[in-house]
């Protein structure tokens, strides 16, 4: 008898699971239910459609060859019955059936299954504050949301808008609306944007974003203000009122699990469906994939919510095989690799941040490296990487990278290092492709590993910008040494009582340094390469307490004197 496979959900994970099940078994009866009117939506492309990077909406629904993935496509090309505008209302695990209703006609029905895949996705969070239902308040979760915001862009009538939430979707939405010429304010309740990043790295992003929009942190929305049912502004928790005609809410999502919960399927402490490495739920005949489920963080072993489109497809692929062949394929979990674009700035992370490493009680070492992605004569652009490794083993734990350079390449290298459980020593002589159009002779990733290796071997003692700032505020007795050139010093400087002695003159001006060779000396330059060289020189001359500001001037997240 041919297997009967039912898939609930038609966005990313569901269609991938259905298609993989078909490729695994030509004769299985596969039915896919989608509550909305569209299938296989490229939801990560919504902000770019809104921003006008492309104009043809159908590109969000098409195959690479331009064919729209509608029910006819699924039936003709894959033999999959796709029922759109159809909501599954109940899972009967004893009878192994699902009950459904066509939302257009009201017709109800029942479908039997041998194996069931739940891919019900997630729903945007919304603040429970007065005025939430005013016209002009939206999310960017569905293709209909994208249509609404694209219409606003094209009409050009909205002049002021707020984006509530400083996560990935909020950042991407802000860029899209900025391209429409809208005056924007980003509101984030927490002390920083992009909370998956450590504070200093997030602060660098925030400094850049402030050149494009107003940014408010540590403040939330208390009320949406309106007249005649239309949004006119927001009142913040501190009483500030911001006029606006549009508000986009981007404060995260919650898994859609009610259908599964009512069927007695186990959910986890984070609110998602619990699955094993086969993407199998607590019911052996039911699998769950995508944003509705919890998966393992590979490094810590703890469950996480990871609503990413790439992971949804990978999970769907695993489940699609297993509903046909039994549990032969596994999904290992996630490093929670993420990346986004903010105008000319690129932002990403893979693995653990410093905060997450602390939560996991992992003993780690860290460095910040600032350097270009290519030589200056090939118009190299800035990269700022924070790299973490386990202290004793040197195993890579995570990397954060931001800047105008090729962040994606760096994250791909570090994500692969995490997958292979590579150490700092594995990376320092990594054989990567090199030519000036693509990389420095020593790639930024390798240079980052070199710095961390030097720190682990005791050749380099760094101090983070945050720690240095705190020591300044506490009035620590330090000798602060800027070893850049005089022209660089005139262009910009920290203004914290530093002494300028260019590295090329330092050997001949050691008499200007403290007589006490145990006194704490802090060195730095533009990116702290010369700062490191100065520290080596000073240590050779008997100075015992020399530290280098990691990342130098370009990695300094605070205000400068000039």
Which 3-state string (H, E, C) describes 254-283? EECCHHHHHCCCCECCCCCEECCCCCECCC
Separation of alpha carbons 149 and 250, rounded Å? 14
Q: Are residues 22 and 106 in the same domain?
A: yes
**186 near 216, Cβ under 8 Å?**
yes
Q: Are residues 199 and 224 in the same domain?
A: yes
Q: Are residues 78 and 48 in the same domain?
A: yes
b/e 214-239 (16+ beta carbons within 10 angstroms → b): ebbbeebbbbbbbeeeebbbbbbeee
- The Cα-based distances of 532 to 462, 483, 490 in angstroms read 9, 10, 21
Separation of alpha carbons 337 and 140, rounded Å? 21
**Residue 124's beta-bridge partner residues?**
253
In a domain, 129, yes or no: no
In a domain, 258, yes or no: yes
Q: Are residues 260 and 239 in the same domain?
A: no
Q: Are residues 111 and 144 in the same domain?
A: no
The tally of CA atoms less than 13 A away on the side-chain side of residue 384 is 25
CA 83 to chain centre: 33
pLDDT, mean of residues 426-450: 97
Separation of alpha carbons 423 and 403, rounded Å? 25
pLDDT, mean of residues 340-367: 97
Q: Are residues 315 and 217 in the same domain?
A: no
How many Å from the N-terminal Cα to the C-terminal Cα in the chain? 77
Beta strand 293-296 with 303-304 is antiparallel
Domain tally, the chain: 4
- The Cα-based distances of 484 to 216, 422, 526, 532, 560 in angstroms read 34, 35, 7, 12, 15
Domain boundary among 201, 225, 251: 251
pLDDT in tens, 453-490: 999 999 999 999 999 999 999 999 999 999 999 999 99
CATH for 408: 3.30.390.30
Inform me whether the pLDDT recorded for 562 exceeds 90.
no
Residue 47 phi/psi, 5-degree rounding, is: -60, -30
**Percent of the chain scored above 90 by pLDDT?**
98
Lowest mean pLDDT among 224-233, 290-299, 553-562: 553-562
Separation of alpha carbons 202 and 208, rounded Å? 10
For residue 403 the two structure tokens come to 């800047």
SS3 call for 183: strand
Separation of alpha carbons 448 and 367, rounded Å? 8
Nearest to 368 by CA among 494, 553, 559: 553
The pLDDT confidence band at residue 298, using thresholds 50, 70 and 90, is: very high
Domain boundary among 251, 274, 295: 251
SS3 call for 76: helix
Q: Are residues 117 and 259 in the same domain?
A: yes
- Give the strand order in the sheet containing 246-249: 137-138, 246-249, 160-164, 183-187, 214-216
Inform me whether the pLDDT recorded for 375 exceeds 90.
yes
CB atoms within 10 A of CB 304: 17
The pLDDT confidence band at residue 354, using thresholds 50, 70 and 90, is: very high
pLDDT at position 1 is 76
For residue 537 the two structure tokens come to 């020189």
pLDDT, mean of residues 188-210: 96
The tally of CA atoms less than 13 A away on the side-chain side of residue 89 is 12
Q: Are residues 155 and 245 in the same domain?
A: yes
CB atoms within 10 A of CB 129: 14
pLDDT, mean of residues 128-142: 96
Separation of alpha carbons 327 and 323, rounded Å? 8
Query: With left for phi above 0 and alpha for psi between -120 and 50, is residue 338 left, alpha or beta?
Result: beta
CATH for 35: 3.50.50.60
pLDDT in tens, 255-294: 999 999 999 999 999 999 999 999 999 999 999 999 999 9
pLDDT at position 205 is 97
CA torsion sign, 470 to 475 to 481 to 486? positive
SS3 call for 294: strand
**173 near 248, Cβ under 8 Å?**
yes
For residue 426 the two structure tokens come to 């594995």
Domain assignment of residue 357, given as a range: 338-428
CATH for 500: 3.40.250.10
For residue 44 the two structure tokens come to 């990560």
Q: Are residues 367 and 477 in the same domain?
A: no
Separation of alpha carbons 162 and 221, rounded Å? 10
In a domain, 476, yes or no: yes
pLDDT at position 561 is 86
Inform me whether the pLDDT recorded for 160 exceeds 90.
yes
Inform me whether the pLDDT recorded for 515 exceeds 90.
yes
């Amino acid at each position: 008898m041919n297997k009967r496979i039912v898939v609930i959900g038609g966005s990313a994970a569901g269609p991938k699971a259905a298609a993989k099940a078909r490729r695994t078994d030509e004769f299985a009866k596969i039915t896919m239910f989608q509550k909305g009117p569209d299938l296989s939506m490229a939801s990560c492309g919504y902000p770019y459609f809104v921003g006008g990077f492309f104009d043809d909406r159908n590109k969000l629904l098409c195959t690479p060859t331009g064919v729209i993935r509608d029910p006819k496509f699924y039936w003709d090309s894959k033999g999959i019955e796709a029922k759109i505008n159809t909501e599954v209302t109940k899972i009967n695990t004893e009878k192994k059936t699902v009950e459904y209703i066509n939302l257009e006609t009201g017709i109800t029905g029942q479908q039997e299954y041998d194996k069931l895949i739940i891919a019900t996705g997630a729903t945007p969070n919304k603040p429970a504050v007065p005025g939430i239902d005013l016209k002009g308040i939206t999310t960017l979760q569905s293709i209909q949301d994208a249509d609404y915001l694209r219409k606003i862009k094209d009409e050009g009538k909205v002049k002021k808008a707020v984006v509530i939430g400083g996560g990935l979707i909020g950042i991407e939405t802000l860029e899209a609306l900025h391209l429409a010429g809208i005056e924007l304010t980003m509101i984030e309740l927490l002390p920083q944007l992009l909370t998956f990043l450590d504070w200093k790295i997030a602060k660098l992003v925030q400094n850049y974003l402030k050149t494009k929009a107003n940014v408010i942190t540590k403040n939330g929305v208390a009320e949406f203000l309106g007249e005649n049912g239309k949004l006119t502004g927001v009142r913040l928790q501190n009483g500030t009122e911001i006029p606006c005609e549009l508000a986009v809410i981007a404060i995260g999502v919650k898994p859609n699990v009610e259908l599964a919960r009512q069927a007695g399927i186990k959910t986890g402490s984070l609110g998602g469906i619990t699955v094993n490495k086969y993407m199998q739920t607590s019911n052996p005949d039911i699998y769950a994939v995508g944003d509705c489920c919890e998966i393992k963080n590979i490094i810590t072993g703890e469950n996480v919510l990871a609503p990413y489109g790439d992971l949804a497809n990978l999970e769907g692929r695993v489940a699609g095989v297993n509903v046909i062949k039994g549990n032969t394929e596994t999904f290992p979990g996630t490093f929670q690799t993420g990346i986004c674009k903010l105008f000319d700035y690129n932002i990403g992370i893979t693995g653990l941040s410093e905060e997450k490493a602390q939560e996991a009680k992992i003993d780690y070492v860290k460095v910040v490296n600032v350097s270009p992605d290519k030589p200056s004569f090939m118009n190299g652009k800035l990269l700022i990487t924070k790299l973490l490794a386990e202290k004793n083993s040197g195993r890579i734990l995570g990397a954060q990278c931001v800047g105008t350079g090729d962040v994606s390449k760096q994250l791909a290298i570090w994500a692969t290092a995490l997958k292979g459980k590579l150490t700092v020593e594995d990376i320092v002589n990594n054989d990567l492709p090199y030519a000036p159009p693509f990389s420095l002779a020593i790639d930024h990733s390798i240079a980052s590993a070199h710095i961390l290796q030097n720190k682990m071997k005791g050749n380099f003692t760094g101090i983070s910008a945050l720690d240095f700032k705190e020591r300044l505020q506490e009035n620590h007795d330090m000798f602060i040494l800027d070893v850049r050139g005089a022209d660089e010093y005139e262009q910009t400087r920290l203004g914290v009582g530093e002494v300028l002695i260019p590295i090329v003159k330092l050997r001949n001006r050691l008499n200007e340094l403290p007589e006490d060779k145990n006194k704490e000396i802090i060195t730095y330059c533009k990116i702290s390469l010369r700062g490191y060289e100065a520290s080596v020189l000073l240590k050779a001359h008997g100075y015992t307490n020399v530290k280098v500001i990691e990342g130098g001037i370009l990695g300094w997240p605070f205000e400068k004197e000039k």
